[in-house]
Amino acid sequence: MQRKVPARFLAAVTLLILSGALAQIAAAAGNFSSAAKRWILAAFVIGALWSVAEYLLLRRNQLRYASRMNRALGTMLETAPEHMRVPMVILNQAQEIMWYNESFLEQVAGDEDTYGRRIYEVLPLRPDTLKDGSSAEIDLLGKHFHITRDDYRMNGQRTALLCFQDTTNYVELKRHYMDSRPCVLLLVIDNFADLMSGARQSERAMVLAALELLFDRFLDGTDSVFCHLDEDRFLVVTESRHCLEMERAHFPLLDEARRITVGEKTALTLSIGVGRSGETLAQNERFAQQSLDMALGRGGDQAAVKTKEGFSFYGGVSKGIEHRSMAKNRAAARDLQKLMRRCSHVYIMGHRASDLDAVGAAVGVAFIAEETEIPYNIVVRQDTTLAKALTDRIAREMPGCMITPEEARAQFSEEDLVVIVDTFSKDIVEDAELYNMAKHVVVIDHHRQMVNYLDNTTVKLHDPHASSAAELVTGMIQYFEWRDQMPQFTAEALLSGIMLDTKNFVMQTGVHTFEAAAYLRERGADPISVKTLFAASMDAYRQRSMLVASAELHGRFAITAAEDPMDNIQIVAAQTADDLLGIEGVDASFVLYPRGNQACISARSLGKMNVQVIMEALGGGGHQIMAATQRTDCTLTELRAMLIAVLDEHEMQKAAEQESN
């Protein structure tokens, strides 16, 4: 009936309009009979009455329909939230559950009555996680939910509505997508040439077969692509889930590779560069190459993983292999001399709080510049240097050579060259502004490469297997026939740097270290004169003795701390750390000390432990046997607690690896 009412209403209106039109025509024409006029009038009256009646009937039906709809909507609004498939819950001002629907009971509460309970007793969320208008993600009962919260205020009472959206399928799809993303691994045998030199063909074949078998076991059960790039270089393309498993296991391939040897020679070691989470496969390949460069720059025998967030490192526990080929050093020496001839002035600097190695290497580079007939200056802050005895001799032997960073920046031009020695880090270079001003930069360093390394370099000589920067500079000097004989002072400055970093030829000493020392001795370096550069004052000796006496043993580690500031505390701390290594059973030593607003650590080891890894975990860095940390965000006591926590974690990890092996 409701659908017919509008049709009758239209018929009535049509009759009314037609009869009215005929009445107007009859009135205008005047030739209509009276009977026709009566019929037209009757039709008009009937149309008018019919239209009014149908309108009233239509209006009544509309009101009745609206009333029925309101009752239906009210009933639906009362019952729909109870049966909606979206879990919902209403909380009062005390975060207690006042109401929830059936979906919440089934999907979230696990059919458990939760009326009157606080929502944070039901959900694994902290009380401050969900605020008005905020959202959160939780995993509950095997499902993943996206929770939104909206607060309402009525009659002075505050309530909150929480809605739960089941995103399990989306999360699983995203996880599957991320797990199946391609990752790139580049693997290099660090000491392939040394292992294979002089090896018989059968031994060579056995090593390659053992390596192939190792890679087969390593990639077994993974959907990976493996190929040879060269005799000692390999490429692996695998899925992200397999790469993450390798990272969680700390790349056991590194330990397995060390078990491969040729006869009685040194064990084989690998360096692995991993590119993960790049946008494309090509970007992951670039990440892998950067990671491999970083792993090799840190001494090899380790894996480096690069993602968009930065680098992560695994391994790096061996002492490393000294490379016997000096072709790289010879090429770097020639490139340095060519670059000097194209520049108008050479500025040489080391790291902040420069030591004998940094200043001694700078003196060696100054000799190269002098023989190349290029003006030069050594940039050093004499008020903060740890090589005060050597800088005093430079002032006497080479007057006007040393300048401050401010003076260097004031006279610097685009044609000038900056040579940086004994550091590869932007964070600790003597003057970062001077480095940023330079168009041409040369870096000569032996420390293991850190993440924030000097990347704007024209020539780079980086060998983490060298004992010191002074050794590298000495090696460069040997490749040229100079106009003049090396001055005795230059030879002694270089020898002091080598003696400092090798602890008088005990630590980090290779064949080339002794060759460099012999070369310097031939050039007139007097060990007695060099020894005077290491002399300490009586106060410094007393302070060192006090620190050694107050040291405590934590497992195989010796730890001591200087509670109050001291003069020359950096030198005293380093010497104390060296002394603590002489205690029986101590594999590494850590000396904590305050310096201005910094809490610092000087770390040393005998090679059985990589202190660089420990210091990097605390925000520092350095070398395998010498490293340090400077922090401004904690006290000395807090830094000591953090150090012990890192050492304990390192020992637990080592024990777990030994058990797995």
The CA-atom distances, in angstroms, between 163 and each of 139, 141, 144, 325, 595 are 15, 17, 13, 68, 54
3-state secondary structure string across 297-315? HCCCCEEEEEECCEEEEEE
Please give the single-letter amino acid code of residue 57. Answer: L
Asked if pLDDT for residue 495 goes beyond 90, the answer is yes
Asked if pLDDT for residue 180 goes beyond 70, the answer is yes
Asked if pLDDT for residue 639 goes beyond 90, the answer is yes
Please state whether the predicted TM-score (pTM) of the whole model is above 0.85.
Answer: no
CA-closest candidate to residue 96, choices 81, 110, 115, 111: 115
The CA-atom distances, in angstroms, between 137 and each of 91, 167, 173, 239, 240 are 19, 9, 16, 26, 23
Length of the chain: 661
pLDDT of residue 63: 67
pLDDT of residue 209: 86
Q: Tell me the pLDDT tens digit for each residue of 558-591.
A: 999 988 777 778 888 888 998 898 888 899 999 9
318's torsion region: left (phi>0), alpha (psi -120 to 50) or beta?
beta
Average pLDDT of the segment spanning 510-518: 86
pLDDT of residue 80: 56
Q: Quick one: pLDDT band at residue 409, thresholds 50, 70, 90? A: very high
Asked if pLDDT for residue 382 goes beyond 80, the answer is yes
Q: Quick one: pLDDT band at residue 321, thresholds 50, 70, 90? A: very low
Asked if pLDDT for residue 323 goes beyond 70, the answer is no
Q: What is the DSSP letter of 93?
A: T
CA–CA separation, 571 and 387 (whole Å): 9
What is the DSSP code string of 364-420? HHHHHHHHTT--EEEE--TTT-S-HHHHHHHHHHSTT-EE-HHHHHHH--TT-EEEE
Q: 396: buried, middle or exposed (CB in 10 Å: 19+, 13-18, 0-12)?
A: exposed
Query: Bigger pLDDT: 77 or 639?
Result: 639
Sign of the CA dihedral with 245 first, then 248, 251, and 256 last:
negative
- Mean pLDDT over all residues of the chain? 83
Average pLDDT of the segment spanning 139-164: 83
106-110, 339-343, 408-412, 418-422 — which is least confidently predicted? 106-110
* Count of CB atoms situated within 10 Å of the CB of 413: 10
The CA-atom distances, in angstroms, between 309 and each of 266, 351, 428 are 36, 27, 22
CA–CA separation, 384 and 370 (whole Å): 26
CA–CA separation, 229 and 232 (whole Å): 8
pLDDT of residue 518: 92
CA–CA separation, 658 and 317 (whole Å): 13
Asked if pLDDT for residue 65 goes beyond 70, the answer is no
Q: Tell me the pLDDT tens digit for each residue of 192-222.
A: 877 777 778 888 888 888 888 888 888 888 8
Strand partners of residue 149: 162
Q: Would you state the structure tokens that stand for residue 353, as one six-digit string? A: 């709080």
Asked if pLDDT for residue 324 goes beyond 50, the answer is no
Q: Would you state the structure tokens that stand for residue 418, as one six-digit string? A: 């900056």
Q: Quick one: pLDDT band at residue 1, thresholds 50, 70, 90? A: very low
- Strand, helix or coil at 321? coil
Q: Would you state the structure tokens that stand for residue 466, as one six-digit string? A: 């060298």
The single residue listed with the structure tokens 């929770």 is 147
CA-closest candidate to residue 495, choices 530, 540, 533: 530
Q: 109: buried, middle or exposed (CB in 10 Å: 19+, 13-18, 0-12)?
A: buried
CA-closest candidate to residue 429, choices 399, 455, 402, 410: 455
pLDDT of residue 411: 93
Please give the single-letter amino acid code of residue 308. Answer: K
Query: Bigger pLDDT: 79 or 601?
Result: 601
Question: Starting from the edge strand earliest in sequence, which strands make up the sheet with 135-140, in order?
Answer: 97-100, 88-91, 157-166, 143-154, 135-140
pLDDT of residue 316: 65
Asked if pLDDT for residue 62 goes beyond 80, the answer is no
User: Element (H or E) spanning 445, and its range?
Assistant: strand 440-445
Strand partners of residue 150: 161
Q: 264 near 195, Cβ under 8 Å?
A: no
